Chains A and B, each alone.
Chain A
Amino acid sequence: MGALTDLDLSALWVSVRLATVTVIVLLIVGTPLAWWLAHTRSRIRPVIEAMVALPIVLPPTVLGFYILVALGPYGPLGRLADFSLAFTFTGLVIASVFYSVPFVIQPLQSAFEAVGTAPLEAAWSLRASRWDAFLTVISPIALRGYISAIVLGFAHTMGEFGVVLMVGGSIPGETRVLSTTIFEHVEVMEYAQAHAISAFMLAFSFLVLLAVYVTNRRFPIHVS
């Protein structure tokens, strides 16, 4: 990695921080939402599911544009914060959360659907409160779903480009992430550095996915 400059390393650090914070936020917000989606009989469920899946098909620039408007000084989120969140790390986190929603919600939802309500009812019958049952029975059984959600959410946030560029710009140390760094390097014909970071991203993404598939094999959860 000798080709990496300090600027590249700071971009790596921003990327990692961004992905970590995004995944934590999504796990907190996404767990109840995924649980609801897995168990509700509500008629608006498909509407919510479609909204959750939207970032998969939407051009990142579209999503980025709307978030940029919302975060700006006259947008709802910007007013809430009393200053423009655009081109800040916080703004980037908000954008990433929206952008990576499906990658966290969908594995969790599938996992919760697979677990079903049977173990939950069994836990209740053994004096476990709702929280207790969720923490000691549901989440361990849904562990694979959580691993998938964390890994995919993290990797997807690491790899985002369009939204980041729209919402964050590429301010070094603040909103410049690895993917935008590659773009910057190519712009000024620094192919060696672009190669290094691209190769790193390629290897990283592959290893992450490999880890997901290996864990799915290695730790089969036996649901009787």
Chain B
Amino acid sequence: MSRLLARFDVRFPTFHLNVDLDVPVSGITAIFGPSGSGKTTLLRCLAGLERAPNGFMQFGNDVWQDEKMGSCLPLYKRPIGYVFQEPRLFPHYNVRANLLYGYHRISSGERRIAIEQVVEILGIGHLLERHIHKLSGGEQQRVAIGRALLTSPKLLLLDEPLASLDIQRKQELLPFILRLRQDLAIPVIYVSHAISEILQLSDRVALLKDGTLAGVGSLSEVLTSLKFRGGFGSHRVGAILDAHVARHEPQYGLTQLEFSGQHLFVPLHPSAIGQSVRVHILSSDVSLAIGKSNAPTSVLNVLAATVQEIREIDHSSVEILLDIGAPLVAGITRKSLVLLGLKPGDRVFAHIKTVALNEEITD
């Protein structure tokens, strides 16, 4: 499979981008990281909008930038479609003229994507004669995507195309982006700081942190990576704990870990006693109980915890931020919350059904 190789090392007054990227050219690759981590700059370097002094970029067999040879193909000569954070439609053209702007600038032999196809996928048939300023934000962004697609790009770069939209519009546009992959088979590089978008869209993730790549891999690989902790937020991760092996119980096939004075049982682990291991707990694997710690239960891992904060997720579920010597998030139902009468400061017991060691996590 052909690959995209890119090496950029660019210093800005307040920021240093230093990446060495090597990803397959297929599906949707997400560049994920917090705001200010350099995602947009990386995308602009890939497009040739920022010229990295010692940069190198190769797409399949085509070298687009090789500063050792002093060469850097300008964006208009690269078969790239670029969708910016803002739609950037041309205000002096209507929707149709915007869509056709790039289409008319490629030779007819290069046109692999038909206008009808784009109009159908993006659902913009009724907008063609409209003026740009009469479109909603979501409609404008769809036109911007369509305009880029009609240059029949070999690579589509999307820079947080949903960032300027409200949640409802985001949910409307996500399926369209998924259809790009399914129907048009255009490789996409998708920049986002929203984990929900990444989870829904991407096949693989490049995690960017402070201008450097913290990890690249399949979605499940990167989600299980410890490096994700900073950028991942609390969407699914209940806890990431640094613990050490306290003792082994080979007769039960268990290993006991210790962290901050608390104990956790995990399946028998080959590490020597005293060795440190890091474990993940999914928030959905944590349930809560009040009462004595010695109340009989089949759950092995029962940890004393203090309720720190209660966060409503939706109509039926809440997340409870607990202190167990380290932060732990429990995802429980709103009904459980009411029945237990939990409030910040309460002392509870966290029952952890599954503790996963780092290498065992699968998505």
Q: Which of B86, B87, B133, B151 is A126 in contact with, Cβ under 8 Å?
A: B151
Instruction: Check A141 against B92 for contact (C-beta < 8 Å).
Output: yes
List chain A residues, Cβ under 8 A from B140: 224
Digitize A199-224: 1 where CB-to-B-CB distance is under 8 Å, 0 elsewhere.
00000000000000000000001111
B interface residues, tally (CB under 8 Å): 27
Interface string of B74-113 (1 = CB under 8 A from A): 1110001110101111111000000001100110000000
Interface contact A123-B47, CB-CB below 8 Å: no
Contact with A along B122-155 (1 / 0, CB 8 A): 0000000001110000001000000110010000
* B76 in contact with A224 (CB, 8 Å): no
With A118-B86, A224-B133 known as contacts, the answer to whether A125 contacts B91 (CB < 8 A) is no
**Structural contact, B101 and A224, CB atoms closer than 8 A:** no
CB <8 Å contact, A129 and B76: yes
Q: Note all chain A residues with C-beta closer than 8 A to B88.
A: 118-119, 121-122, 224
Asked whether A119 lies within 8 Å of B90 as measured between CB atoms, the reply is yes
Q: Are B91 and A222 in contact (CB under 8 A)?
A: yes
State the Cβ distance, A137 to closest chain B Cβ, in Å. 6
For B131, the chain A residues whose CB sits under 8 A away are: 222
Q: Provide the residues of chain B in CB contact with A222, threshold 8 Å.
A: 91, 131-133
Q: Does A16 reach chain B (CB closer than 8 Å)? A: no
Count A/B pairs, Cβ under 8 Å.
73
Contact of A125 with B105 in the complex, beta carbons under 8 Å: no
Which residue of B84, B91, B133, B151 contacts A127 across the interface (Cβ within 8 Å)?
A: B151
Interfacial chain A residues near B74, Cβ < 8 Å: 124
| A125-B81 CB under 8 A given contacts A222-B132, A224-B132, A224-B133 | yes
Residue of A nearest to B75 (CB): A124
Query: CB < 8 Å: which of A125, A132, A221 contacts B75?
Result: A125
Chain A residues, Cβ within 8 Å of B87: 224
**SS class, residues of chain A in contact with chain B:** helix
A119 to B89, CA, bound (A): 7
Cβ contact within 8 Å between A128 and B101: yes
Q: Are A121 and B84 in contact (CB under 8 A)?
A: yes
Say whether A76 faces chain B, with CB atoms less than 8 Å apart: no
* A172 at interface by CB-CB < 8 Å: no
The answer to whether the Cβ of B49 comes within 8 Å of any Cβ in the partner chain is: yes
Q: Is the CB of B91 within 8 A of A221?
A: yes
Which chain A residues (63-102) contact chain B, with CB distance < 8 Å?
none
**What is the distance, in angstroms, from B186's C-beta to the closest C-beta of chain A?**
14
- Taking CB as reference atom, which chain B residue is nearest A118? B88
- Are A125 and B90 in contact (CB-based, < 8 A)? no
B106–A137 touching, CB < 8 Å: no
| Complex Cα gap A189–B101 (Å) | 63
**Interchain nearest-CB distance for B88 vs A (Å):** 4
| Interchain CB contact (< 8 A) of B86 among A130, A143, A224 | A224
Give Cα distance in the complex from A129 to B77, angstroms: 8
* A 115-165 contacts with B by CB, 8 A: 118-119, 121-130, 132-133, 136-137, 140-141, 143
Cβ-closest 6 pairs across A and B: A126-B102, A125-B82, A127-B105, A222-B133, A122-B88, A124-B75
21 of the cross-chain contacts (CB-CB < 8 Å) are A122-B82, A122-B84, A122-B90, A123-B90, A124-B75, A125-B76, A125-B80, A125-B102, A125-B148, A126-B101, A126-B102, A126-B147, A129-B76, A132-B105, A137-B90, A140-B92, A222-B132, A223-B91, A224-B132, A224-B133, A224-B140
- If A118-B88, A126-B105, A132-B105 are given as contacts, then 6 extra A-B residue pairs at C-beta distance below 8 Å, sorted by A number, are A122-B82, A124-B76, A125-B102, A126-B102, A128-B102, A224-B91
Chain B contacts to A: CB under 8 angstroms: 47, 49, 74-76, 80-82, 84, 86-92, 101-102, 105-106, 131-133, 140, 147-148, 151
